[in-house]
Amino acid sequence: MAGDMKIRIGRKILKKEDIYRQKEIFHREQAKLSFEEKIKILIQLQKIAKNIKRKGIVWKIR
């Protein structure tokens, strides 16, 4: 059964649902970053997207 699937990572054995729960926690923690921090990450994302797509805007902020 897919729901009972267990995954070994080194010494840890995790259930699939544990991984999903950890991912959820990670996203919630990211949401708690300061607005300033998020804007810095946003600009990095804009740079990455521009490198890949060869178009798009990167905020030029001082």
Partner 1 sequence: MRKTPEVINELKDKGVIDDYAIGGGIATLFYAEPFLTYDLDIFITIKQSGKIIDLTPIYDYLKSKGYKWKDEHIVIEGVPVQFIVADELEEEGIKNAKGITYEGIPNKVFSSEHLIAIFLRAGREKDIQKVKMLLQQTKINKRRLKNILRENLILK
Q: Where along the sequence are the contacts to partner 1 (CB under 8 A)?
A: 24, 27-28, 30-31, 33, 35-36, 38-39, 41-42, 45-46, 49, 56-57, 59-62
Spell out the residues 6+ positions from residue 2 whose beta carbon is closer than 8 angstroms to its own. Answer: 16
Shortest reach from residue 21's CB to partner 1, in Å: 12
Q: Considering beta carbons, is residue 11 or 28 the nearer one to partner 1?
A: 28
Q: Considering beta carbons, is residue 1 or 31 the nearer one to partner 1?
A: 31
Determine the residue type at 24. Answer: E
Beta pairing class for 6-9 and 12-15 = antiparallel
Determine the residue type at 42. Answer: L
